[in-house]
Structure 1
Amino acid sequence: MPRLMPMTRQQYYLRLFAEGQPDLNWENEDTREAIYKSAVKFWLDKGVDGFRIDVCSLYSKTYPLRDAAADDMTPVDGLGFPLEGQASNGPRIHEFHKEMNSKVMSHYDTMTVGEVPGASVEETLKYVSAKEKELNMIFLFYPVELGCGKTDRFNYQGFTAQDFKDAFFKQSNFVKGTDAWSTVFIENHDQPRSITRFGDDSTPELRNISGKMLATLQSTLSGTLFLYEGQEIGMTNVPVSWDISEYKDVNTINYWNAFLKTNPSEEEKTKLLKVINLMARDNARTPMLWNDSKNGGFSTGDPWMRVNDNYKEVNAANERADPNSIYNYYKKALEIRKLYKDVLVHGDFDHIDYANKQIMSYTKAGKDKKAYVVLNLTKNVVKYTKQVEGDLRLILSNYSANSDSELQPFESRVYLVST
Structure 2
Amino acid sequence: MQTRLTDLIKDTPEGQEADAILRSCVHCGFCLATCPTYQLLGNELDSPRGRIYLIKQMLEGQEVTEKTQLHLDRCLTCRACETTCPSGVQYGHLLDIGRGMVEQQIQRTPYATFKRYALRKLLPNRTLFSTLMGVARMGRPLLPARLKKTIFPKPVTARSPSGKTHTRSMLILAGCVQPALTPNTNHATTRVLDRLGIAVMAAEQAGCCGALAYHLNAQEEGLNAMRRNIDAWWPFVTRSENPVEAIIVTASGCGVTVKDYGHLLQHDPDYAEKAAKISSLTRDISEIITAEASTLIPLLEAEKATSKSSSPRNLAFHAPCTLQHGMKLKGKVEPVLQAAGFNLTKVADPHLCCGSAGTYSILQPKLSRQLRDNKIAALTMENPDLVVTANIGCQMHLQGGTSLPVRHWIELLDETLTG
State the TM-score, normalizing by the size of structure 1.
0.25
- Specify which structure has the higher proportion of helix: 2
Larger radius of gyration: 1
Higher RCO by CA contacts (8 Å cutoff, separation 6 or greater): 2
State the TM-score, normalizing by the size of structure 2.
0.25
